[in-house]
Amino acid sequence: MKTSFALVFIAVTLLLANCKKSDKTVNHINCDGLVTDTAGTNDNGKIYMPNAFTPNSDGINDVSKPLTQNIASLSFTIYDENNNVVFTTSTIGQGWITTAASNTFVKYYYKIQATTTSNHKIGKCGELYKLTCFPANIPKSNFYFEDQLTPFGFTGITNEVLGNCT
């Protein structure tokens, strides 16, 4: 019995020794501390956030911004892969206007904390893609653009025309 316990102990120790966490692992903070307290209140405040934008100056989906209804105030922040803030605003309707190199896609993270006109809080967070092309490893249907927003959510068809990334 002691021999089998010793062998199991050695095997587990060896497995754990080889199981190292990558030094480059980042715990994304974009969802930390968000509050939503509208449940059961019939509050009609809403935040819609496209998960993709295309800063290619074609006049379609060039800016990354939350689209709101019945929101009194908000804080909108975009983070890069290393949790560095690349954009922040507290002005409703203001978004991130940036440029992008051609044939690229970059993933960012966003955090929105808002107060409704009924004085309740809504928190929203997620991933955001800056695109000048469609990546081969992600289906196009996974991207939601501002021009797809209808009164029923992101149900429209985008007018954005992008090639595939090479």
pTM of the model: 0.81
Residues 6+ apart with CB under 8 A from 154: 48, 50, 144, 145, 148
Cβ pair 61, 139 in contact under 8 A: no
Query: Tell me: the pLDDT tens digits for 94-152?
Result: 999 998 888 889 999 999 999 999 999 999 999 999 999 999 889 999 999 999 999 88
Q: Residue 50's closest CA among 133, 143, 135?
A: 143
Query: What is the Cα–Cα distance from 65 to 73, expressed in whole angstroms?
Result: 14
Query: Tell me: the pLDDT tens digits for 76-106?
Result: 999 999 999 999 999 999 999 998 888 889 9
Q: What angle do CA 100, 106, 112 make, to 5 degrees?
A: 100
The residue extents of the domains of the chain are 27-154
Q: How far is CA 97 from CA 57, 78, 89, 135, 147, in A?
A: 10, 12, 12, 21, 16
Q: 27-154 maps to which CATH number?
A: 2.60.40
